[in-house]
Amino acid sequence: MLKSGDVHARNRAVLAPLRQAQYDYDPDRVRATLVQAFAPGAVVHLATPFEDLDGAEELYARAYLPLHAAISDLERRDWIVVAGPSADGDDWVGCCGTYTGTFTRPWLDIPPTGHQVAMRFHEFYRLEDGRVVEMQALWDIPELMLQARAWPMAPALGREWQAPGPATQDGLAEHPWDAGASTRNRQLVLDMLIGLSRHATGGVAAMELEKYWHPRCNWYGPSGIGTNRGIAGFRHWHQIPFLRGMPDRSGASSSGKNDLFADGNYVAVTGWPNMRATISGDGWMGIAPAGQKITMRSLDFWRCENGLIRENWVLVDLLHVYRQIGVDVLGRMREFNKARAL
């Protein structure tokens, strides 16, 4: 009988052929490995504008096939591959990295650059009996808009760049699943998240950021928010605008739930969606406050070091946020890019 840790090591291995096929990107092999890894009827949630797709075949046809047509030398590079159980007993594998290659044809009407580009991905797979039964994935599509000089949104407050992989270069978990370290670090992140929720009643001091975050922490946000260095950078360029813009933000409701899991020093969270809020104050991404109620999709990874959070990779489906308030970001981008043909 397999031990719990063996299950998670085995689940990581299930995704290995797909990851390798996408690294050496051969279309037929990618399609075949997707079909092999995914159970029939698997649920696929992908970032706006793709939304929900019907299993491996539609995921390949609607998402990967057009992406490969735009980037013919497409290559997947993983920085983080971790696995573990959620509190509800679901078994997850989380992958963080970039899709890269030469952008030679339009994709989603983003104009090609003729140069190498990189688009970060956070992809989460829930497995049962060795097959993927659910996928939740965010691709940082705005990151390609930025590289194509076709930016249709407000400028980021943080640093816009290609976020790096882990400083320790140990994100590709190949070790046995460590129940002790995983439990400790999962609790650290959970306590930190609980602390963040105290802001509504206790203000900044109640969150006790210094208790959980390393003084040299890095918060790697999506394009549109950017990277922030240290606790001060995190507060000034992400947290303060976020809390001012949506002071009532809270975790998942009946519309979704969080699944927090850990693998050694790495902790990850899924959710589709995993947050709800009302845009009722000023200061977040240039969105005028009008009491708009939204849900948010955020897929995150944390790296813990000596009892503190040292790095945090965060992707948010910003195109989905804008869509909910009636702003078609891709449509705005198309209007801006008309000038390129004049």
Q: Which of 14-28, 40-54, 110-124, 166-180 has the lowest mean pLDDT?
A: 166-180
pLDDT band at 4 (very low <50, low <70, confident <90, very high): low
- Domains, the chain: 4-147 (3.10.450.50), 179-330 (3.10.450.50)
Closest of 53, 17, 3 to residue 131, by C-alpha: 17
- In DSSP notation, 29-67 reads HHHHHHHHHEEEEEEEEETTTTEEEEHHHHHIIIIIHHH
pLDDT band at 87 (very low <50, low <70, confident <90, very high): very high
Judging by beta carbons within 10 Å of its beta carbon (0-12, 13-18, 19+), is residue 236 exposed, middle or buried?
middle
Q: Which of 82-96, 109-123, 241-255 has the lowest mean pLDDT?
A: 241-255
Q: How far is CA 293 from CA 183, 245, 250, in A?
A: 35, 12, 12
61-76 pLDDT tens trace: 999 999 999 999 999 9
Is the confidence at residue 270, as pLDDT, over 50? yes
State the CB neighbour count (10 A cutoff) for residue 233: 19
Pairwise pLDDT comparison (207 vs 229), residue with the higher score: 229
Is the confidence at residue 177, as pLDDT, over 50? yes
pLDDT band at 200 (very low <50, low <70, confident <90, very high): low
